[in-house]
Structure 1
Amino acid sequence: MANVLLVDQVDGKNALVMRDVDPAQPGPGEVRYQVHAFGLNRADLLYLAGYHYTPTIIPSRVGFEACGIVDAVGAGVTGFKVGDRVTCLPIGKPVYSVAGEFAIMPEDFLAPWPEHLSTEEATSAWMQYSTAYYPFCELAQVGSGDVVLITAASSSAGVGAIQLAKHLGATVIASSRTTAKADFLRQVGADHVVTHDCGSLSDQIAALPIEGRQLSMVYDAVAGPAIASYADALGPKAQVFIYGALSGELTIECPILPLIRPGASIHLYSLLNMFPQPGALQRVKDYLGPLIADGRLRPLVDRVFPFEEAFAAFAYLEAGDQKGKVVVRTKFAE
């Protein structure tokens, strides 16, 4: 038997619960691994609340990313064997959720656990970077000379995007609710920091020592009414990628003219819409794998909780005070 985390109905409401279950056997093309740690993401909170891209199934497991050691393989698996150390890419299907003491994943969504990464870093390696990969590398094709705004930048997704944008040569402006995390954001690579408690983001961006003072791209996890705060800073053909709703509003609220005048566009983006496209999964693994393996991209872990305190870990994530990834370790972690 193994403990896992699920979303289920408790007193008529969706709730996170811990249950002891019999580990399933992997099917054809699947790999089962003993989970050493799993990472928490805002996507988990959205799934628990029924607001995620993936419709919530009651009951079902939760969790998008984990690392561990293979203990069983299904028929036809050729890339992994029992005893291999692995980390996973997010697949976004409840049947393949990973929060618990075991997980099952199609072998295509697994990657080797880089030797230089700790347990906590290995579990955090793929979701933040693969989420950012498609907007930055394929859709907007960010490079030298581009100015990028990354909202909610102290989250693991934000930190990963800062690292990737700097690798691509862009100038990075990080935004946060307050100035409390400004020093941290500069330490992880942001060239400039703007905050909502200091007024309009557009006005703050206009005052920065950046040529043109206009945005090429926005990577926005907040959405809702917050879009209006940076709309006037959008440059010619700027692309805005909305990938979250931390504002609490499942809406897009912004003035029209600041987008029409520069020919800017808004994209409603989900990583899970990209993976089914032909070759997309392999491209992200081919591009990011070497960068993770040699340390050019390295996850930043904020806080680690033991599995017995998993509920506290989710509460900490929901409070929004983290700086990087929140990780839960299981009893199997070395």
Structure 2
Amino acid sequence: MAKLVQFDRLGGPEVLTLRDVEVRAPGAGEVRIRVDAIGLNRAEIMYREGSYFDRPVFPSMLGYEAAGVVEAVGEGVDGLAEGDPVAVVPAFLQSAYGTYGDHVVVPAAAVVPRPAGIGPVPAAAVWMAYITAYGPLVEAGQVRPGDHVLITAASSSVGLAAIQTARHIGAIPIATTRGAAKRQRLLDAGAAHVIVTDDEDLPARVKEITGGAGVRLAFDPVAGPGVEAIAQGIAPGGTLVVYGALDPRPTPLPNAHSYPALTSRTYTLFEITKDPERLRRAVAFVNAGLASGSFTPVVDRTFDLGDIVEAHRYMQAGDQVGKIVVTVTHDAASD
């Protein structure tokens, strides 16, 4: 039997239930993994609440990331074998697959070898964050050494990965946070500058930091009316990338009457993870950063799988700096 987290209705963390479910064999193109650690993401809160673009099919699993060991491979799977240490990349819909469990089946296309020397907990904290940062900064945005990059809500796992990615490129990361409590932690994480938006004027501080030039790229998960202030700090010809929707209010499109000419676009990591060639490049880039020490996943706190409700409550409170990871303890007798 496998232990899987499922839910039968939309709602708060309390709808999540840990259940015993029959372990199934992987089908064609699938892999079954013995899970050791699970990375949590805000997308899973939205999915659980019904505000995500993908709607649950009950009883629904959830979860995009995990690290563990291959238990079995399905027909047509090449390059993966029983016993391989691996990690799961977000490359599927939660309505079809999920990673919240001790034994899970996922598409082989979403499984990558675990980098050498990386344990299960940090490995579960890598792929959502670093691929989300890689797409806009490296592949689409082509940020260059010396460019300023504005990273809003920077204390999230993606924000911290974006800080490290900008540093890896040679760019200058400017981080934002609402309150002063996280300022020093963001500086310690590699931010060249931190703007506390509750206390400081965002566009004015950006212009001050950049000598009036503005940033080449702004990377924002919040959306909503706040993008207008962000746009005012972008250099002419720069790019505004909105990759989330933490603010449910309508997001205005920056226009030529108020701002310099800029490109405004949305982004999702599925642009990378569902394209095999782009995913190959992203994995190579992230692995190189991990191997060199430029990339170090920041784990804020770990929870046991049996405490998944508390883990979701903690994530929803939004006080963490970095990733929340759920660990899985295996009973040799039951395995």
- TM-score normalised by L of structure 1: 0.92
Give the Cα separation in 2 of the matches to 1:286 and 1:124: 17
SS at match of 2:48: helix
Amino acid in structure 2 at the alignment position of 1:62 = L
Please name the residue that 2:24 is paired with. 24
SS at match of 1:238: strand
Give yes or no for contact 1:154–1:322 (8 Å, CA) kept in 2: yes
Deviation at residue 76 of structure 1 after TM alignment:
2.1
Give yes or no for contact 2:14–2:309 (8 Å, CA) kept in 1: no
Give yes or no for contact 1:310–1:328 (8 Å, CA) kept in 2: yes
Deviation at residue 246 of structure 1 after TM alignment:
1.8
SS at match of 1:323: coil
Against the structure 1 CA distance between its residues 175 and 13, is the aligned structure 2 distance closer, same or farther, given a 3 Å change threshold?
closer
Deviation at residue 138 of structure 1 after TM alignment:
1.2
Give the Cα separation in 2 of the matches to 1:33 and 1:192: 41
Give the Cα separation in 1 of the matches to 2:6 and 2:310: 15
Give the Cα separation in 2 of the matches to 1:145 and 1:320: 31
Unaligned runs of 5+ in 2: none
Against the structure 1 CA distance between its residues 254 and 107, is the aligned structure 2 distance closer, same or farther, given a 3 Å change threshold?
closer
Please name the residue that 1:122 is paired with. 123
Give yes or no for contact 1:37–1:333 (8 Å, CA) kept in 2: no
Please name the residue that 2:74 is paired with. 74
Give yes or no for contact 1:231–1:254 (8 Å, CA) kept in 2: no
Give yes or no for contact 1:234–1:258 (8 Å, CA) kept in 2: no
SS at match of 1:62: coil
Are 2:82 and 1:113 equivalent residues in the alignment?
no
Give the Cα separation in 2 of the matches to 1:175 and 1:13: 28
Deviation at residue 159 of structure 1 after TM alignment:
0.5
The Cα RMSD (Å) is 2.3
Against the structure 1 CA distance between its residues 266 and 315, is the aligned structure 2 distance closer, same or farther, given a 3 Å change threshold?
same
Give the Cα separation in 2 of the matches to 1:333 and 1:134: 39
Give yes or no for contact 1:130–1:284 (8 Å, CA) kept in 2: yes
Give the Cα separation in 2 of the matches to 1:203 and 1:167: 27
**Percent identity of paired positions between Structure 1 and Structure 2:** 37
Please name the residue that 1:86 is paired with. 86
Moved more, 108-117 or 309-318: 108-117
Give yes or no for contact 2:44–2:62 (8 Å, CA) kept in 1: yes
Against the structure 1 CA distance between its residues 252 and 11, is the aligned structure 2 distance closer, same or farther, given a 3 Å change threshold?
closer
Against the structure 1 CA distance between its residues 137 and 258, is the aligned structure 2 distance closer, same or farther, given a 3 Å change threshold?
farther
Against the structure 1 CA distance between its residues 294 and 116, is the aligned structure 2 distance closer, same or farther, given a 3 Å change threshold?
farther
Please name the residue that 1:309 is paired with. 307
Are 2:253 and 1:239 equivalent residues in the alignment?
no
Q: How many equivalent residue pairs?
A: 331
> What does 1:1-334 align with in structure 2 at a 5 Å threshold?
1-9=1-9, 15-94=15-94, 95-208=96-209, 210-247=210-247, 249-253=248-252, 256-257=255-256, 261-277=259-275, 279-332=277-330
Deviations 1:190-235 (A, max 9, x none): 0000122114211222232x34440111110111122122222111
